[in-house]
A and B are shown apart, each in its own frame.
Chain A
Amino acid sequence: MANGASEVAVEGGGNKRLQLLKVLGPVHVWALGVGIVLVGEFMGWNFSVGKGGALGSLIACWFIGLLYTCVAMIDSEVTSTVAAAGGQYAQAKHIIGPLMAFNVALYLVLAYTMLEAADALVVGDLISTVAAQTGHEGLDPKPFVLLTIAVLAWLNYRGVFMTLSVNFVITAIAFLSIVVLFFATEPWIQGKVLQHGELLDGLPYGWIGVVAALQFGMWYYLGIEGTCQAVEECRSPRRALPLGTITGIVTLLIAATLTWYVSSGLLPWEYLGQSGVPLYDTARVLGSPALSGLLFLGTILAAVASANGCINDASRAWFSLGRDRYMPAWFGAVHPRYRTPFRSIIFLIPIAVSFAFTGLLDQVITFSILSGLLGYTFMTINIVKFRRQWPLGSIDRGYVHPMHPLPMIALLTLCVATYFATFLGYGSTLLATMSFYIIASVWFHFRRYPFVERGSQFTMPWPRPLGY
């Protein structure tokens, strides 16, 4: 064995094995989940205003908030039991089967890599905007896009503890900037700054507009399920995962409502619905350079935190595929010093850079959202099978979500409504995405699965499922 191996190896059954480092607590789980999502408060959510008006956007905000609360509860229960990198992929492998697991991992890798590319693109574009405001028109954003991805990939490569500690700090600053903006509008004196009485004028496109707004309502929360990817690196997964995820969704519900309240009280819906950076624009209306600067900083930090979390999550999902031989085993390597899935991190860098350099933000984000939605639909099947095969009391759960199967039914209903909303706005992208996953499934079944060592992928010491 080579140098340094003894200090990083884990003894198990007489063999020394490399494992991912278990150093994370609930704060890191919170930082991962909220960090990935919070950028959606700074941009993107407001397109729901364009579809359904300000009130339609609020309905979408809370309706989709309910969807994600169900996602957070279901995920917390299953993941606190399946404490393995890959999150929903590992859940699908144990509970449903290899083909579903492969698809779920693919949703995860593509959703997070594309979101990472979009985040880096946002950072590059914001820097170009600053350059234009200081007299340098037409600055190429590409070097700054690459710098964002390179710095974050380097951070992820060097260790998960520092990566998510940094994410905690920058996510907290971004969240606080929203809170500061809220208090700066003096919401306790209605009509002084905020003009909801004049600006809220019903549903401009009726209830069909509200349905169409659902797709963009996802931006408020998209990615909170990413907390599951950290579970194998938690010191106490049964405690850290549910605590970090549930406090994460509560934070996002607060942030989403504050964001809607402030923006819709200052900007007319016709403008808000097409703004590129709605919170920054809201701050500019108040006329305070310090506040505008803070919200600009918040926007950049939120995008960086999101990209950082996405690199972490996409690499864990890809690593899990390699470890189980669903992809070449080479990707399942752990760095002996930093204890990170280093080859998976490296492999995904050029993919993220190439997505980012295309500059096709809309298509990249839509594909990412649809992949996420497919993942949420899977969760409904997953939790039903999980409760049937391993009923309460048959396996040690860190968290038991209440009122089963009501959250599952609510989640499925909301997924169907959101598919319909997506079909209204992006029908061809929806069909292209579905076709892609069907072709990938056929490839996996006939070309890849024969190479999988079927027994060695199930090393979790679980009791046999009911009826096995």
Chain B
Amino acid sequence: MDFWNVMSYLAWIISGALLFWIVFDAIKVSKEYDEDYLLSSREGEDLLLDEEKGNG
């Protein structure tokens, strides 16, 4: 097995490990946190906060 064959196998293994980690973390986060909280982002939230502060 030459250098490039080793590199190919390494590329497969590292890619697999990274993708596995991403999916594993996403599943963990989805179980750990409330879905409403994960989906709570709103467009322009900071502008609304600025307005509220300005009015307050």
Contacts and interface: CB of A to CB of B under 8 A. Distances in A.
Whether chains A and B associate is: yes
Interface of A: 1-3, 5, 9-13, 15-20, 22, 83-85, 90, 131, 134, 136, 139-140, 143-144, 146-147, 149-151, 153-154, 157, 232, 320, 323-324, 329-330, 332-337, 342-343, 345-346, 349, 457, 459-461
Nearest to B50: A461
B45 A336 contact: no
A19 B44 CA distance: 10
Contact of B40 (A16, A153, A324): A16
B26 A459 contact: no
Chain B interface SS verdict (over half): helix
Interface string B4-46: 1100110110111011011101100110111101111111111
A90 B43 contact: yes
Given A1-B37, A143-B11, A10 B26 contact: no
Contacts of B44: 83-84, 459-461
Contacts of B18: 150-151, 153-154
A41 B23 CA distance: 35
Given A2-B32, A140-B8, A461 B43 contact: no
A317 B20 CA distance: 24
A364 to B, nearest CB: 20
Contacts of B45: 10, 12, 17, 19, 459
A332 B48 contact: no
B41 A17 contact: yes
Nearest to A345: B22
Contacts of A457: 43
A329 B9 CA distance: 38
Interface of B: 2-5, 8-9, 11-12, 14-16, 18-19, 21-23, 25-26, 29-30, 32-35, 37-49, 51-52
A431 B35 CA distance: 41
Contacts of A332: 39, 41
B23 A346 contact: yes
B41 A323 contact: yes
Nearest to B51: A461
Given A84-B43, A153-B22, A343-B26, A2 B33 contact: yes
Given A16-B40, A90-B43, A459-B48, A147 B14 contact: yes
A79 B54 CA distance: 23
Contacts of B51: 461
Contacts of A17: 40-42, 45
Contact of B33 (A146, A147, A336): A336
A83 B47 contact: yes
A57 B8 CA distance: 39
Closest CB pairs A-B (n = 5): A143-B11, A460-B44, A150-B15, A333-B38, A147-B11
Contacts of A151: 14-15, 18
13 contacts: A2-B34, A5-B33, A10-B45, A10-B49, A12-B52, A16-B40, A17-B40, A17-B41, A19-B46, A147-B11, A232-B43, A323-B39, A337-B29
B14 A150 contact: yes
